[in-house]
Structure 1
């Protein structure tokens, strides 16, 4: 059975993905027009960034009540979850996407843009590593002396008074663990947002539209392929 947070966020996410699909169509259409209006390009880029900001605003609000829901999201397919990095997409993926687009669609980038994108990539890689080190610290902390002692006491608790006292200690420990996970999740989300904003600041309006169309496509197709795979598994004998 889904928790209230899972149910509410699942409903929000379905609406959000629908908006993302509509946005992708608008981005593709505008990028393929022979004559682009810069004001229209900028307006659509702004619409895309606002859509992403809305996602993280709702996500963070929901995570205050149930952060674990975002580490094993029921609204995502196993394929999507397999490619998840600390509850979302890995920031360095966007730099690989830029490289792929340079060979296909993306309007030619200047040497200055290429240099600045590389600088941003290195900076964001450092930020990614910080998040991963903190996640590792949270995971390793499960085996520290206090947690081991708490687990040992839990196996020995027998009488009601001792069990009640121990339950209180366990609740405090779990609350600390969840708070740590929420902090790591938010740190990862901040790296995602900084990477997206940093790249958009370096790209021209037309380049930004082409780039955003590609990022939307990757998210949408991964979701589509993941759902298709789940359906195949359910239907197989």
Structure 2
């Protein structure tokens, strides 16, 4: 059963995704003439604003239900399988750049950015590990001990109070990890478009959108296939 926050974000995401697909069409159809850099730049700004809207709403919703973003119902299982800390992995963008642009001009700057992003990803991984290990910290151990104190079938002590306190701390930590990861994603996008020229940035943004949309479509086909197989079985 989904929470109200999850339902609310799922509705937002459906609308956001429709605009995302519309943005992709614009990216693919915009003039390829390098002299139209002002058009390319305006389109990139529009796409970046759309990305930022997603994270703004995501962070606001996470205050009510952060766990929903670690097991999102608005993504297919295939999308979730490829996700990292509630979204796409930032280092993915550098593989796309390598396949799109053979020019050597921006390579050194791209490599510097890739190195910085990798360091940021490692920081997020370490923080997530710290949050996972914290489950065995003293407050949680005390909670486990308290839960074993049963008298006449009833738990002795204010168990619910301790549960709420321990859970609250864990949720705050998970929200921090999610935001850290999202910030790295935005840094990767912003960093790349600042290095590439406007037309290259258009190709880059189109490639990311195409990848995410095609992954989603593949996930839906896989889900549909499972349903049909189950019905036949």
* Bin of the TM-score, shorter chain as denominator length: over 0.9
Give the match for residue 148 of structure 2: 155
Give the match for residue 209 of structure 2: 216
Preserved CA contact (<8 Å) 2:66 2:174: yes
Give the match for residue 194 of structure 2: 201
Distance in 2 between residues matched to 1:185 and 1:52, nearest whole Å = 16
Distance in 1 between residues matched to 2:156 and 2:56, nearest whole Å = 39
Preserved CA contact (<8 Å) 1:79 1:222: yes
SS of the residue 1:64 aligns to: helix
1:173-210 CA-to-partner distances (Å, cap 9, x unmatched) read 00000000000000000010011100110010000000
- Stretches of structure 1 lacking an aligned partner (at least 5 in a row): none
Preserved CA contact (<8 Å) 1:77 1:227: yes
Cα displacement (A) at 1:219: 0.8
- Tell me the TM-score normalized by structure 1: 0.92
Cα displacement (A) at 1:100: 1.4
Preserved CA contact (<8 Å) 1:30 1:36: no
Q: How does 1:51-70 map to 2 (within 5 A)?
A: 51-70=50-69
1:158-187 CA-to-partner distances (Å, cap 9, x unmatched) read 479965612101100000000000000000
Give the match for residue 71 of structure 1: 70
Compute the RMSD of aligned alpha carbons: 1.7
Cα displacement (A) at 1:151: 1.1
Give the match for residue 95 of structure 1: 94
- Stretches of structure 2 lacking an aligned partner (at least 5 in a row): none
Instruction: Summarize the Cα distance change of 1:158–1:222 in structure 2 as closer, same or farther, 3 Å threshold.
Output: farther
Preserved CA contact (<8 Å) 2:150 2:156: yes
Distance in 2 between residues matched to 1:15 and 1:109, nearest whole Å = 39
Preserved CA contact (<8 Å) 1:157 1:166: no
Give the match for residue 86 of structure 1: 85
Cα displacement (A) at 1:145: 3.0
Distance in 1 between residues matched to 2:167 and 2:137, nearest whole Å = 14
Distance in 1 between residues matched to 2:152 and 2:202, nearest whole Å = 65
1:72-104 CA-to-partner distances (Å, cap 9, x unmatched) read 00001110000110000100000111111125x
Cα displacement (A) at 1:36: 5.3
Cα displacement (A) at 1:65: 0.3
Distance in 2 between residues matched to 1:23 and 1:228, nearest whole Å = 23
Preserved CA contact (<8 Å) 1:16 1:55: yes
**Structure having greater relative contact order (Cα 8 Å, sep ≥ 6):** 1
